[in-house]
Amino acid sequence: MLRFLTAGESHGPALVAILEGCPANLLLSEEEINRELERRQQGYGRGKRMKLEKDKVEITSGVRAGKTIGSPIALRITNRSTELFDKTITRLRPGHADLAGAVKYNQKDIRNILERASARETAVKVAVGAIAKKLLAEFRINVFSEVLQIGKAKNKTEWKKAIDRAAEEGNTLGGIFEITVTGAPVGLGSHVHWDRRLDGNLARAVMAIPAIKGVEIGLGFGVASLPGSKVHDEIFYSPGKGYYRATNNAGGLEGGMTNGEPIIIRAAMKPIATLKKPLKSVDLVSKKVCEALVERSDVCAVEPAAVIGEAVAALEIANALLEKFGGDAVEDLKASYKYYLSRLA
């Protein structure tokens, strides 16, 4: 079973993670992880911090001579931008965790909330997800993403203009992205318990990405307005091909399990909550009316959110793969997987 924990603050010394459960003998390098970190920093509409941070991972345990050794893998990403860490903040920001977190943890300085609630934490999550993607690639399971919409614009040629307009107005934009997983065999996940249903685990993982407000699989909310005859994917069989579908409205998941079709997940991201033209708010300490705090922020971050989506989806798929096929070493996992595929054939 794969499980991981992250720690660290947005402007603190570093972000760190420990990943447990990765099988031994998986080839892994810092360079491979850094490529995913670089992808997370790309995208039109990113803020000034992306020019300050050049995310590089340091693997501090669990890998020797370029291979995993079966013990927990520890990762560290050093923060270059730390100058704001000691700055006290009391002006609450609508759309952030500031107010709820300050009340819950009895804080008078919302820096103690926003530092951990920041989407900066997703950098180390992408690093962990990169390891999961590397493991899945050993089984020809690939995870990739695509941005479908920025604001109201669904045409790529309009996206930059929409982001530029929002920037000029001191505003921000959200959007929709899609994650696709190909090559997953039939039978990952399970119908027998709610917490083993893969669709539920994937939805939870994607929904937990900061600023995500909606997740759908396959046709998603579209199924509510269609009759069953237009929703459910008919099943066919041929001796050379086996079972197959002509459509994939289910998004590759039925009964909490993969059905052999590509897994399709879409997510809706809200606009970034920090606006250059700040919204009205209240000071946490004085309770006086004020404008919300403005610190460095993006105008639009849908493209990096899609990369983060890949990472968390890969972690859930890899966990389901390990749950089904077991093995403390990659070779054992492959042997079990090979037997399963022969049984299906």
Q: Is 120 annotated as belonging to a binding site? A: no
**Residue 119 among known ligand-binding residues:** no
pLDDT at 81: 86
**Is 93 annotated as a binding-site member?**
no
Question: Can you give the pLDDT at residue 97?
Answer: 96
Percentage of the chain surpassing pLDDT 70?
A: 98
Report pLDDT digits (tens) over 195-234.
999 999 999 999 999 999 999 999 999 999 999 999 999 9
> 48: pLDDT confidence band, cut at 50, 70 and 90?
low
Instruction: Return the structure tokens found at 259.
Output: 């059905």
The verdict on whether residue 270 carries a ligand-binding annotation is: yes
Confirm or deny that 100 is annotated as ligand binding: no
Rounded to 5 degrees, what are φ and ψ at 245?
A: -120, 150
**The domain defined by 3-344 carries CATH number 3.30.930.10:** no
Domain locations in the chain as residue ranges: 3-344
Is 46 a known ligand-binding residue?
A: yes
- Rounded mean pLDDT of 22-38? 97
Residue 296 assigned ligand-binding role: yes
Contact between 274 and 223 under an 8 Å Cβ cutoff? The reply is no
Please state, in angstroms and as integers, the Cα–Cα distance from residue 286 to each residue in 64, 100, 282, 291, 294, following that order.
54, 17, 8, 13, 18
Which one has a higher pLDDT value, 81 or 328?
328
| Torsion angles phi and psi, residue 213, rounded to 5 | -120, -5
> Is 296 a residue whose pLDDT tops 80?
no
Q: Can you say whether the dihedral through the CA atoms of 114, 164, 268, 279 is positive or negative?
A: positive
**295-318 average pLDDT score:** 94
Residue 262 annotated as binding? no
Nearest to 248 by CA among 228, 231, 236: 231
Q: What is the mean pLDDT of residues 289-312?
A: 93
Output the pLDDT for position 103.
Answer: 97
Q: Identify the sign of the CA torsion 228, 229, 231, 234.
A: positive
* Mean pLDDT of the 170-184 span: 97
Kindly report whether the global pTM for this prediction surpasses the value 0.75.
Answer: yes
* Burial class of residue 314 in the structure, from the number of CB atoms within 10 Å of its CB (0-12 exposed, 13-18 middle, 19+ buried): buried
CA 307 to chain centroid, in Å, comes to 7
> What pLDDT is stored for residue 49 in this prediction?
58
Q: Which pLDDT belongs to residue 225?
A: 97
Is it the case that residue 242 has pLDDT exceeding 90? no
How far is Cα 131 from Cα 127, in angstroms, rounded to an integer?
A: 7
Phi-psi sector, 103: left (phi>0), alpha (psi -120 to 50), beta? alpha
The string of pLDDT tens digits covering residues 52-94 is 668 999 999 999 999 999 999 999 999 998 989 999 999 999 9
Q: Pairing relation of β-strands 14-20 and 257-258?
A: unpaired
Whether residue 129 has pLDDT greater than 80 = yes
Report which of 75, 61, 89 is spatially closest to residue 130, judged by C-alpha positions. 75
196 is in an annotated binding site: no
What is the per-residue pLDDT for 53? 67
Q: How far is residue 271's CA from residue 152's CA, in Å, rounded to a whole number? A: 12
- Residue 326, pLDDT above cutoff 70: yes
255 is in an annotated binding site: yes
